[in-house]
Amino acid sequence: MTAEPVTPEATAFEDTITPDPTWRATTMPPTDYTKQSFGIRIDELERGRAVLSMTVRDEMANGFGITHGGAVFTLADTAFAYACNEGDRMVVAQGADITFAKASRAGDRLVATAERRWLAGRSGLYDVTITGPDGDVVAEFRGRSRALAQTPQS
């Protein structure tokens, strides 16, 4: 299966994102090559929350014909990154855990909804729920974030 064709409707929301230096997540899309290579798109974005989606391609399936856990993790981790980069400082993952609940397969559209649960100082906690085309939970991801002390100059 090839990557889902990019249509004006498919990229409409992402194309409306205006880069804002006070909101790191809005500056990430043009150079987020992992997101691009996996065909992940941003469907919703607000500070502390992000909804991203991806169609599972044949090369994302493992030897059992189900979506490789690494592909599911990548979608969840990417949604986490957009949710936690809600200010002007660069925020990275300090750690993450995932629980796989239901298998998905090539052709399935997965949706990852990431939401902030707690934020204090430079640390945060975010939950990501990944659902399949039937709305059932495919996986639950919990990410721990850490804002960098200094943001490298771009």
Q: What is the pLDDT of residues 66-109, one digit of tens each?
A: 999 999 999 999 999 999 999 999 999 999 999 999 999 999 99
Q: What is the pTM for the complete model shown?
A: 0.90
Q: Parallel, antiparallel, or unpaired for β 41-46 and 49-55? A: antiparallel
DSSP structure string for 3-61: PPPP-HHHHHHHHTPPPBTTBGGGGSGGG-HHHHHHT-EEEEEETTEEEEEEEPPGGGB
* Tokens encoding 109: 């559209």
- Domains of the chain (ranges plus CATH)? 8-147 (3.10.129.10)
Whether 123 has a pLDDT exceeding 70, the answer reads yes
Q: How confident is the model at residue 2 (pLDDT cuts 50, 70, 90)?
A: very low
